[in-house]
Structure 1
């Protein structure tokens, strides 16, 4: 397969959230909207990478079946990485066929490779929560006058919170202040020490924080808040799975078969939480005990086709309006969306 030119200093220009996170399960989770018709295809061999966190959680059943020699449509080799920096060079150079990455990074890669990246599915929706030690926050409007601790300045937490506050008539940096931390663990520490009472956190950090801070509660689910305020069919999207364009063009039927098996894996994970948590722990993605508590609140999905395009393109448009460089300087063309 041809190799695409590796763009030097790519990752320094990318504004991504390296989350190990998941949001509340909701919506359509199992490849419900693929617009690609089933077609006979020869089995293919795919090398697939995922980040430790929610983008890997939905894959664990398929990973387990592949390792166990189950009868699958294709031959899969999976690998796990701690950050997008480990994945993107291998994807661009052709060492990987597919990868689970943050949603805006997919758009950045599409621009940097001049269209050589295709998005196959949304695999994680909203991941962010406002947590509070107390009961003062019941709505977005209650954040006015408050200081929130959070990591992710310039990335998804800031972009999502800014959009929601603007839609609600408030403003980030105006009547709502954020004390930005370098890592989510610092926000948890601030809550635990009493230095902060309100934080913006992703799962599973929410679950971890609740084990350390007595009385900490989830005040707002930003995924739900986005759905209330967005009027364009978009969703708060955290992660997607992408493939190299040449991989898709070589055998689109095999790619579609993969998506069906991916969707089945997602359904199994969401429907078998204790067993899925054990698998997640065995792969070193998230501790099994944490995974079991967090999974019921995880928005792990496999949304494809037209619905994928609607949700993802709307989300990318919001990011583009705030900072064009966060999506690579331009919005992707229609060919970016597989099956739509």
Structure 2
């Protein structure tokens, strides 16, 4: 019996020792169980970009093609649909616009290209050119059939407009290159509308006019015909484009608010695109805002007005070449000297 008890006691001790030597099972985590705080991807710092501040611009332009590209912009501005505000002044004579620029009374002006160069010099570079807005628009009209070529002008009296501006210098250059200097009598009228009325009434038989006055006269007198396209005649004697109108801006206005000025350029470019694509609406705006007296005239004239908005290096290339031709023919026509590179805004 004692042997049995001793055996049982021995077995119990062995079992206890076995239990003490067994390590408990450990459950390994299947992943990192540490919870990191959530990181927001949202930028909670306030924006440091300043808000765009619109500007108020005074704009002077000539009636006719020089101003026709602005028709849509004028309408949008009148309806409060532009970020900037614009105050427009229209004139029939370049001298009126010239005076307002020399006196620093306007921020922006649409003028003949030779006048832009003159004003750059007279204002000591205070105004720079930012865009070409009009190419060739000049024609010679005749009540009759005697003028079939430029040579046929010899010995005749030709009425014209644009004394002291691009039309005069284009005409003089064409006459000179065709050996007609001093052989054609040129009588200048101040207003395009005045000369168009004289053609329409039959009091003048031969005249040089720009669009839309060409269309206006022909609509009133069916005996008138397009005798010569002076853009084509220019191309026969020069390798440059007949650039007629441009946009100049006061440098101080650009520097005061570059963002607002950039908005102006975008507004003008959009206006030119609109008037070329939506002639009927643009013509109505021309009548409403006094750019052209009658919408019917503007609608027929628009396709022949060569309205563009050319900026930067392309602007400089065409404009500097044209001014170079004018300078060679008559330095006084562009103010006595070619403008410096800073005249051509954004052409770097």
Larger Rg: 2
Question: Which residue is 2:321 aligned to?
Answer: 314
1:102–1:137 Cα change, 3 Å? same
User: Where in structure 1 are there 5+ consecutive unaligned residues?
Assistant: 1-39
Moved more, 198-207 or 272-281: 198-207
Answering whether residue 144 of structure 2 is matched by residue 134 of structure 1, we say: yes
1:126–1:248 Cα change, 3 Å? same
In the TM superposition, what is the alpha-carbon distance from 1:325 to its structure 2 partner?
2.5
1:208–1:75 Cα change, 3 Å? same
Question: Which residue is 2:60 aligned to?
Answer: 49
Paired residue for 1:243, among 224, 241, 249? 249
Question: Which residue is 1:81 aligned to?
Answer: 90
Residues 244-268 of structure 1: CA distance to partner in whole angstroms, max 9, x if unpaired?
1122234445433322221111111
- For the 8 Å contact 1:56–1:100, the answer to whether it is kept is yes
Residues 61-111 of structure 1: CA distance to partner in whole angstroms, max 9, x if unpaired?
1222223232x4x41313122244444454455543212122222111111
Q: How well do the aligned residues superpose, as a CA RMSD in angstroms? A: 2.6
Which residues of 2 match residues 144-183 of structure 1 at below 5 A? Answer: 144-167=154-177, 169-174=178-183, 176-183=184-191
1:80–1:230 Cα change, 3 Å? same
- For the 8 Å contact 2:84–2:260, the answer to whether it is kept is no
User: Where in structure 2 are there 5+ consecutive unaligned residues?
Assistant: 1-49
Q: Give the SS at the match of 2:151.
A: helix
In the TM superposition, what is the alpha-carbon distance from 1:118 to its structure 2 partner?
0.7
How many residue pairs get aligned? The number is: 295
Q: Give the SS at the match of 2:85.
A: strand
Paired residue for 1:99, among 109, 116, 123? 109
> Which has the higher relative contact order, 1 or 2, with Cα contacts under 8 A spaced 6 or more apart?
1
TM-score norm. by structure 2 comes to: 0.75
In the TM superposition, what is the alpha-carbon distance from 1:145 to its structure 2 partner?
4.1
TM-score norm. by structure 1 comes to: 0.77
Question: Which residue is 2:235 aligned to?
Answer: 227
1:336–1:200 Cα change, 3 Å? same
